[in-house]
């Protein structure tokens, strides 16, 4: 089966591949995550209870305060980070956090990214070209 290729804006961080975890909901490291256990901890979040470690996280908009800029780095140091973050809309804080942690981030896709990838999909992420490849979904 061929692969599905999705184009976004050129992103930040190295190329990676992994399994997708997807929801049409927003993202804040400080408010949504238990950063010690590696799970979504805000009850109102659509991924509540899901383990995000080493997943390609696919969500809608980056929200929340400035603390997230430090937190991606700490999560990566502890091996408690997602593998990459794909968003419809990033904000400066998440971009700064990704640049500081050398963490893969792409946003501004041609269509709603949360509608194009499904949880469990095998995904390759190339921030330099802003390209996401979903294996076997062409």
Binding mask 115-134 for another protein (x = CB under 8 A): --------------------
Distance CA(56)–CA(72), nearest Å, equals 14
- Which two three-digit tokens encode residue 96? 């700064």
Number of residues that bind another protein (CB under 8 A): 33
User: Shortest distance, CB of residue 37 to another protein, whole angstroms?
Assistant: 15
Residue closer to another protein (CB basis): 115 or 136: 115
What is the residue whose two structure tokens read 């949360």? 114
* 113 DSSP assignment: G
Q: How many other C-beta atoms lie within 10 A of the C-beta of residue 72?
A: 26
Are the CB atoms for 127 and 107 separated by under 8 Å? no
Between residues 83 and 98, which has the closer beta carbon with respect to another protein? 98
> Cβ 10 to another protein, closest distance in Å?
7
Position among 4, 89, 119, 124 found at the interface with another protein (CB under 8 A):
89
Residue 38: name the closest of 86, 95, 78, 90 by CA: 78
Query: Given candidates 78, 112, 129, 136, which one binds another protein under the rule CB under 8 A?
Result: 78
What are the backbone angles phi and psi of residue 71, rounded to the nearest 5°?
-70, -35
Stretch that binds another protein, among 15-23, 45-53, 84-92, 114-122 (CB under 8 A): 84-92
Site residues (CB under 8 A) for another protein, limited to 25-64: 30-31, 42, 61-64
């Amino acid at each position: 089966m061929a692969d599905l290729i999705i184009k976004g804006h050129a992103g930040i961080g190295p190329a990676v591949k992994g399994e997708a975890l997807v929801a049409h909901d927003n993202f804040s490291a400080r408010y949504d995550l238990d950063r010690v256990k590696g799970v979504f901890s805000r009850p109102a979040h659509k991924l509540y209870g899901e383990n995000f470690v080493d997943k390609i996280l696919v969500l809608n908009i980056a929200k929340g305060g400035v603390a997230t800029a430090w937190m991606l780095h700490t999560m990566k140091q502890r091996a408690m980070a997602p593998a990459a973050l794909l968003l419809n809309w990033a904000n400066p804080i998440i971009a700064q956090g990704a640049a500081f942690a050398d963490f893969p981030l792409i946003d501004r896709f041609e269509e709603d990214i949360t509608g194009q990838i499904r949880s469990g999909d095998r995904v390759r992420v190339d921030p330099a070209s802003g390209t996401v490849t979903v294996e076997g979904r062409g």
